[in-house]
Structure 1
Amino acid sequence: MNDLLALIYLVFFAAIAGGAFALMTQNLRNSQESDSLRAPRKRSRVHPEAPQAGEEVLYVDFSRERLEQIFQQTP
């Protein structure tokens, strides 16, 4: 009985492992095909959230000296 259960287990294990490998291979193949079919995107060199020329940005100084000054000032 144990030999039969071990054989059934191995058959199902091989089927699941084979199916997982086939699915992974097909996904990789499809992603490569879709990349070759897709038109190249035009990429802008400037990030859309980047500050424009002359625009002020918030700057936080976390240097050790500055933090020590802040902690010494607090009562």
Structure 2
Amino acid sequence: MNDLLAVIYFVFFAAIAGGAFALMSQNLRSSQERDSLQTPRRRSRVHPEAPQPGEEVLYVDFSRERLEQMYQQTP
């Protein structure tokens, strides 16, 4: 009985391992085909959330000297 269960186990193990390998190879093949079919998109050089020229931005200085000055100024 134990021999039969071992054979069944290894048959199912081989089926699952073969299916996993087939799925992995098919995914790799389809991703290569998709990459070769796509034309390269031209990306804009400016991020959409980047500040426009002349626009003010918030700047926080966390340098050690600046922090030490801030702590010395507090009463």
TM-score, scaled to structure 2 = 0.86
- Which residue identity does 1:53 align to in structure 2? P
State the number of aligned residues.
Answer: 75
What CA distance in whole angstroms lies between the structure 1 residues aligned with 2:26 and 2:66?
A: 56
- Which residue identity does 2:49 align to in structure 1? E
% identical aligned pairs: 85
Shift in Å, 1:68: 2.1
Q: Does 1:7 align with 2:7?
A: yes
Task: Give the secondary structure class of the aligned counterpart of 2:67.
Answer: helix
- Which residue identity does 2:12 align to in structure 1? F
Q: Does 1:22 align with 2:32?
A: no
Task: Give the secondary structure class of the aligned counterpart of 2:43.
Answer: coil
Shift in Å, 1:51: 1.3
**CA RMSD after TM alignment:** 1.4
Shift in Å, 1:23: 0.4
Specify every segment of 5 or more residues in structure 1 that has no aligned partner in the other structure, as ranges.
Answer: none
TM-score, scaled to structure 1 = 0.86
